[in-house]
Amino acid sequence: MNDVTTPPRPWVLHVDMDQFIAAVEVLRRPELAGRPVIVGGRGDPTERAVVSTASYEARAFGVGSGMPLRLAARKAPDAIILPVDGPAYTAASEQVMNVLRSTGAVVEVLGWDEAFLGISTDDPERWARETQAAVLAATHLHCSIGIGDNKIRAKLATGFGKPRGIFRLTADNWSEVMGERPTIELWGVGSKVSKRLSGLGIHTVHELAAADPAVLVGEFGPRMGQWYADLGHGRGSSVVDDTPWVARGHSRETTYQRNLVTRAEVEDAVRVLVGQVLEDVLAEGRPVMRLTLKVRYAPFFTKTFSRKLPAVTTDRAALEEAALSLVDKMETGREIRLLGLRAEMIMPADPAEAGPVKTTPIRGAF
Positions annotated as catalytic residues are 114
Residue type, 129: R
| Number of neighbours of residue 128 by Cβ within 10 angstroms | 27
CA distance 298 to 44: 20
CA distance 8 to 104: 14
Q: Are 162 and 144 in contact (CB under 8 A)?
A: yes
CA distance 169 to 250: 35
* Residues composing the chain: 366
Q: Are 288 and 350 in contact (CB under 8 A)?
A: no
Q: What are phi and psi of 67, to 5 degrees?
A: -75, 140
CA distance 115 to 14: 6
Listed in sequence order, the DSSP H helices in 285-328 are 316-327
Helix (H, G, I), strand (E, B) or coil at 310: strand
The sheet that has 80-82: what strands, in order across it?
53-54, 37-39, 80-82
Q: Are 336 and 266 in contact (CB under 8 A)?
A: yes
Q: Are 357 and 312 in contact (CB under 8 A)?
A: yes
- The conformation of residue 29, written as its DSSP 8-state character, comes to -
Closest CA to 113 of 130, 125, 100: 100
Q: What is the signed CA dihedral for 36, 252, 184, 301, rounded to 10 degrees?
A: 100
